[in-house]
């Protein structure tokens, strides 16, 4: 990792502004790092031509005194779930073989318009379904962290490639999507900051859909401040997405630096779970102490329906997915496997095009929506979802943010939990409730476990109160002083 690849967005902005380096130099440094680090398999598609072209344009703008803002010239990695015009977009699936959209997702178009330099499309769990990036048709991503046992670890998922790329210094920042924890959990596993905005904050237009009522784009970076800068460039109302909220985007970065004094932090007692590793519990308690030390007040609160969140999520998300993925039928684009009849063609295409986890979720989703099961599963899940959202609403009458662990463990080895879907689904136990309620939440790297692997703490805020979320996250970040990079990637161990 050269000096240029370790910089924060803020440092890049300042460096470019003071002509310490150019956007082209910055892009080249990151492209070289990507080349050297291909063994991580963080990218499905590298886009050096686009990166260099955009960097060139950025430098040209700056030379004319027309730099666009804090993201101008900043390298960014894009989860390969965002449609990018004329660039292969796979969703991590075999079934989208060869698919190059003619259109650009709203979020990536906004980044482009802000001058950001796309480095490539990052690896992910197939259709964002997974918590370890092992379901990708394009192979697993390796976490740049290796731990004391030195085996290959998962980066978390589904946005594993984006998280790994940022952790390894291959990009200054990255974007991902979070449906049940797909940004926050990999951020925790990779020791970086990952944030899911309020549902409706960023447009879903042009993002390959997994579960429409939950999917939300969000930023990854190596600091809370960077995450706030990146989100500001992604967010905003989009008339092409009916679920995008017609609300103004505040200057998130401006809310930073205010400290935690006077902040009311809730500690949901239901997040203490049976069999929770002592290390996680210890870090959580440490987090409470850190927030107090920063001037916040912490109090226990109750979210009584928390334990129903995971089963509810695993009904709602597959139900929507089973319908959203019906369009991958081999008729218009992507993979088609021939069959003698139409139905055989469908079955062959979808059987071969989807991996086992996607097939499992399509089957679960189809089942819970079926006549005779709809009321018992889907309808009940919707009711529980409303109760969960209501729990949060009540609690946010008393506190500003909630503090919980991000994930029940640190990164595990590639190959672990692979034959036990339920164990895998448990990765999302702390992140899913906020997803169901559509709330903004962030994972902040807070410490290392006994194996030397990063662990994150998780903050949840009120709808559209990302400003307070960032403020609390920055206070936590300051208190825990986690400045560690993975060994071999600019790490300081």
Partner 1 sequence: MSYEIKGERGDWEVVVGLEVHAQIISNAKLFSGAAAQFGAAPNTQVSLVDAAMPGMLPVLNGHCVAQAVRTGLGLKAKINKRSVFERKNYFYPDLPPGYQISQYAQPIVGEGSILLDLPDGSTRAVGIERLHMEQDAGKSLHDQDPNRTFIDLNRAGVALMEIVSKPDIRSPEEAGLYLRKLRSILRYLGTCDGNMEEGSMRADVNVSVRPKGSNELRTRAEVKNVNSVRFVMQAIEAEAARQVAIYDAGGEVKQETRLYDSEKGETRPMRIKEFAHDYRYFPDPDLLPLVLTDEYIRKIEAALPELPDAKKQRFIAELGLSPYDAQVLAAERETADYFERVAQGGAGGKKGRRDAKQVANWVTGALFAHLNETGKTIAASPVAAEALGELLDLVADGTISGRIAKDVFAEMAATGKPAKAIIAAKGLTQISDAGVIEAAVNEVIAANPKQVADVRAGKEKTIGWLVGQVMKATQGKANPQMVNELLKRKLGG
Residue 79 annotated as catalytic: yes
CB of 339 vs partner 1, minimal distance in Å: 13
Nearer to partner 1 among residue 13 and residue 385 (C-beta): 385
Q: Please give the angle made by the CA atoms of 401, 262 and 221, to the nearest 5 degrees.
A: 50
Q: List the interface residues with partner 1, window 105-144 (CB under 8 A).
A: 105
- Rounded to whole angstroms, what are the CA distances from 242 to 74, 201, 259? 30, 12, 36
Structure tokens at 192: 């970086």
Pick the closer one to partner 1 by CB: 290 or 378.
378
Taking the complex as a whole, the smallest distance from the CB of residue 394 to partner 1 amounts, in Å, to 23
Nearer to partner 1, 113 or 331 (CB): 331
Please give the residues from 354 up to 373 whose contact with partner 1 meets the rule CB under 8 A: 366, 369-371
Task: State in angstroms the smallest separation of the CB of 214 from partner 1.
Answer: 8
Please pick, from the candidates 12, 96, 153, 407, the single residue that binds partner 1 as defined by CB under 8 A. 96
Give the chain's end-to-end CA distance (angstroms, integer): 14
* 135 touches 417 (CB < 8 A): no
For partner 1, give the closer residue by CB, 101 or 268.
Answer: 101
244 a catalytic residue: no
Reference 172, options 61, 60, 16, 19; nearest CA is: 16
Residue 131 Rama label (left phi>0; alpha psi -120 to 50; beta): alpha
Among 346, 354, 470, 489, binds partner 1 (CB under 8 A): 346
User: Looking at 58, 182, 188, 322, which residue is catalytic?
Assistant: 182
**Cα(323)–Cα(213) distance, integer angstroms:** 12
Indicate whether 87 belongs to the interface with partner 1 (CB under 8 A).
no
Determine the distance from the C-alpha atom of residue 316 to the mean position of all C-alpha atoms in its chain, rounded to a whole number: 19
Q: Which listed residue (83, 116, 253, 414) binds partner 1 by CB under 8 A?
A: 83
100 touches partner 1 by CB under 8 A: no
The residues, any chain, with a CB within 8 Å of residue 380's CB and separated by 6 or more, are 315
Q: Judged by CB under 8 A, how many residues of this single chain contact partner 1?
A: 42
Q: Which is nearer to partner 1, 276 or 347 (CB)?
A: 347
- Mention every residue, 6+ apart, whose C-beta is less than 8 A from residue 167: 143, 144, 145, 155, 190, 191, 192, 222, 485, 486, 489
**478 Cβ contact list (under 8 Å, min separation 6):** 294
Distance CA 458, CA 472 (A): 10
Is 298 or 368 the residue whose CB approaches partner 1 more closely?
368
Q: Binding mask 215-244 vs partner 1 (x if CB under 8 A, - otherwise)? A: ------------------------xxxxx-
Residue among 169 and 318 whose Cβ is closer to partner 1? 318
According to CB under 8 A, which one of 65, 278, 300, 332 is a site residue for partner 1?
A: 332
CA pair distance 154, 167, nearest whole angstrom = 13
Least Å distance between CB 207 and partner 1? 5
Nearer to partner 1, 96 or 457 (CB): 96
Q: Is 97 in the site for partner 1 (CB under 8 A)?
A: no
DSSP summary character for residue 269: G
CA distance 173 to 234: 12
- CA dist 76 and 166 (Å) reads 9
Return the sign of the alpha-carbon dihedral for residues 457, 460, 466, 467. negative
Catalytic residue among 8, 58, 79, 443: 79
Binding string, residues 372-411; x marks residues near partner 1 by CB under 8 A: --x---x---------------------------------
Contact (Cβ atoms closer than 8 angstroms) between residue 389 and residue 95: no
Q: Edge-to-edge strands of the sheet including 441-448?
A: 43-46, 117-122, 75-79, 173-178, 216-221, 193-196, 441-448, 454-461, 401-405, 264-268, 297-301
Candidates 8, 131, 132, 158; catalytic one: 158
For 41, residues 6+ apart whose C-beta sits below 8 A from its C-beta are 123, 138, 139, 140, 141, 142, 161
Residues 180-219: x where in contact with partner 1 by CB under 8 A, - otherwise, as a string: ------------------------xxxxxx-xxx------
340 a catalytic residue: no
Q: Per-residue string for binding with partner 1, 286-325, x by CB under 8 A?
A: ---------------------------------xx-xx--
Choose between 90 and 404: whose C-beta lies nearer to partner 1: 90
Pick from 15, 70, 75, 91 the residue near partner 1 by CB under 8 A.
91
Quick count: other Cβ atoms within 10 Å of Cβ 382? 14
Binding site for partner 1 (CB under 8 A): 82-83, 89, 91, 96, 99, 101-103, 105, 204-209, 211-213, 239-243, 319-320, 322-323, 326-327, 329, 331-333, 342, 346, 366, 369-371, 374, 378
Residues classed as catalytic: 79, 158, 182
């Amino acid at each position: 990792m050269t000096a240029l690849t370790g910089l924060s967005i803020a440092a890049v902005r300042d460096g470019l502004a003071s002509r310490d380096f150019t956007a082209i130099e910055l892009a080249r440094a990151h492209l070289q790092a990507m080349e050297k680090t291909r063994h991580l398999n963080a990218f499905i598609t590298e886009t050096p031509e686009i990166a260099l072209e955009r960097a060139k344009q950025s430098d040209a703008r700056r030379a004319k005194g027309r730099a666009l803002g804090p993201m101008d010239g900043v390298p960014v990695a894009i989860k390969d779930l965002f449609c990018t015009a004329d660039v292969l977009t796979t969703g991590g699936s075999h079934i989208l073989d060869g698919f190059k959209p003619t259109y650009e997702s709203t979020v990536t178009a906004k980044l482009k318009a802000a001058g950001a330099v796309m480095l490539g499309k990052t690896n992910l769990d197939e259709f964002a379904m997974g918590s370890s990036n092992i379901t990708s048709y394009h192979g697993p991503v390796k976490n740049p962290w290796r731990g004391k046992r030195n085996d290959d670890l998962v980066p978390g998922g589904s946005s594993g490639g984006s998280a790994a790329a940022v952790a390894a210094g291959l990009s200054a920042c990255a974007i991902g999507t979070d449906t049940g924890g797909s940004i926050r959990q990999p951020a925790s596993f990779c020791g970086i900051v990952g944030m899911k905005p309020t549902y409706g904050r960023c447009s879903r237009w042009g993002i390959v859909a997994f579960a429409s009522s939950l999917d939300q784009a969000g930023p990854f970076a190596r600091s809370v401040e960077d995450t706030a800068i990146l989100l500001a460039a992604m967010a905003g109302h989009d008339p092409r997405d009916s679920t995008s909220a017609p609300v103004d985007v505040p200057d998130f970065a401006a809310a930073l630096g205010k400290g935690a004094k006077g902040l009311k932090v809730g500690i949901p007692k239901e997040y203490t779970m049976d069999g929770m590793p002592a290390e996680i519990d210890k870090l959580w308690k440490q987090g409470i102490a850190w927030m107090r030390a920063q001037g916040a007040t912490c109090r226990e609160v109750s979210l009584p329906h928390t334990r129903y969140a995971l089963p509810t999520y695993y009904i709602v998300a597959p139900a929507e997915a089973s319908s959203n993925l019906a369009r991958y039928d081999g008729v218009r684009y992507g993979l088609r496997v021939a069959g003698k009849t139409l139905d055989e063609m469908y079955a062959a295409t979808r059987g071969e095009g989807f991996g086992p986890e996607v097939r499992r979720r399509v089957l679960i989703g189809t089942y819970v929506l079926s006549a005779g099961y709809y009321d018992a599963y889907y309808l009940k899940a919707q009711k529980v979802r409303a109760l969960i959202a209501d729990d949060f609403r009540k609690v946010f009458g008393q506190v500003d943010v909630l503090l919980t662990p991000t994930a029940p463990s640190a990164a595990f080895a590639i190959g672990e939990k692979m034959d036990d879907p339920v164990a895998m689904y448990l990765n999302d136990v702390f992140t899913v409730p906020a997803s169901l309620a559509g709330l903004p939440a962030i994972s902040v790297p807070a410490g290392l476990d006994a194996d030397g692997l990063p662990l994150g703490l998780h903050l949840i805020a009120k709808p559209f109160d990302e400003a307070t979320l960032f403020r609390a996250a920055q206070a936590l970040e300051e208190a825990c002083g986690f400045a560690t990079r993975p060994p071999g990637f600019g790490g300081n161990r």
